[in-house]
Structure 1
């Protein structure tokens, strides 16, 4: 199985999708549902991640439990200027004296442009996917099983990366407070052909501490909505055709 999608919510994917397409250099694809946006980030070596924007009338307030940290490095100022030209705006979340720059996309989804860090060399435009966790070790075990990603050196207590050594780091970070509402950004994993199927993947996740989402909005789909051991939503997609 593998990490297939980074999914964000927006009131207007027709605006937010093109922003992320230009920001990350995505190859625009055909979305699964009308009104969605989908674009592919080629990580090289056969590795990729799709960025999906799904429309919601009233998305949850922007939050930090999962967001994108973009590669800035020595060109941080130029990257920030380019993103602002594309429609990003500065966002004040109480940060003071930090070396990264906090921005919001056209729909208000927060993200950061990172300073130079050795651990982010060669990641491509997304340096990291920081995810708040009540128990990074336990959540790290779950996501390693769900994504096939492997432990790597990082700045978080637990960091995972595609086994090819390409693309962003998934960073399990100590949560500043318990989760209280639906996340606005989540991850999707899909079973591999010839490997555990969707049902087996769900059962594996449950054995590692995940729980099923029971709300009405989580029912009736081809995918299964789960929550990790800290309450963060993720989806197990249908078996590949």
Structure 2
């Protein structure tokens, strides 16, 4: 199994997808009326696809999964670049967003999803433009065990209570942070997709998720080729079948 996608709900997938593609320097994969995909490949590290899917409703607050961008020594210039691409400033301290201590400038993408442009930190060396995927969770230690098993990413020193990273030690961190409040019934506007590999048994994976505190969620409407789950904190994720 491996982490394949960051999925973002959007009212206008093309507009938002082109924004994130420009921000991250992604490679376009799909550009359709109801979906847009762009690929972020980190040399010597993971490949992550950002998948934008059309939904009608506006983003709820707060955002439990958000993207942190590496600003480093060029933080001010990076902020101005994002503003020029269509981002806007949010009147928030980064600690209000996810209780962190790392300085950063809080922005919102064109549809209001918060993101941070971070100052330089040793923990983010070699990440590329995407420094971290920051996920709210009830118990960071439990979440780290769950997500490490799912993704194969392993513990690294970071600024969050627990941080995971691809075994190459390249690419973004998955930062597991204490939630301000329990997950409500509203679906997260961003979620992660796990891809099975040849030989992975879907039922064994489902049992492993349950054994680690997650649960399977019912799918709505027609049968889907993937299965939907929640992590121990209620954050949605999808498990995709192995590629043929």
Same fold by TM (over 0.5)? yes
Change in 2 beyond 3 A, CA 1:62/1:20: farther
Aligned pair 1:22/2:22, yes or no? yes
Aligned pairs for 1:221-240 within 5 A: 221-240=224-243
The whole-number CA distance in structure 2 between the counterparts of 1:17 and 1:96 is: 27
Change in 2 beyond 3 A, CA 1:155/1:143: same
Change in 2 beyond 3 A, CA 1:34/1:200: farther
Aligned 8 A contact 1:190 1:239 in 2: yes
TM-score, normalised with respect to structure 2: 0.91
Aligned pair 1:101/2:101, yes or no? no
Aligned 8 A contact 1:132 1:173 in 2: yes
Aligned 8 A contact 1:62 1:108 in 2: no
What is the count of residue pairs matched by the alignment?
238
TM-score, normalised with respect to structure 1: 0.93
Report how far residue 215 of structure 1 moved. Answer: 6.2
Report how far residue 158 of structure 1 moved. Answer: 1.1
Aligned 8 A contact 2:9 2:190 in 1: yes
| Deviations 1:193-235, CA, capped at 9 Å, x for gaps | 23x2333222211111111223636x72111111010111111
Q: 1:126 aligns with which of 119, 127, 130?
A: 130
Give the corresponding residue for 2:2: 2
Structure 2: stretches of 5+ with no match in the other structure = 97-101
Tell me the secondary structure at the aligned position of residue 30 of structure 1. strand
The whole-number CA distance in structure 1 between the counterparts of 2:237 and 2:92 is: 25
Report how far residue 96 of structure 1 moved. Answer: 7.7
Q: 1:185 aligns with which of 187, 190, 193?
A: 190
| Deviations 1:91-139, CA, capped at 9 Å, x for gaps | 1246589721111111111111011111011100110111111111111
Aligned 8 A contact 1:71 1:114 in 2: yes
Report how far residue 64 of structure 1 moved. Answer: 2.5
Aligned 8 A contact 1:62 1:184 in 2: no
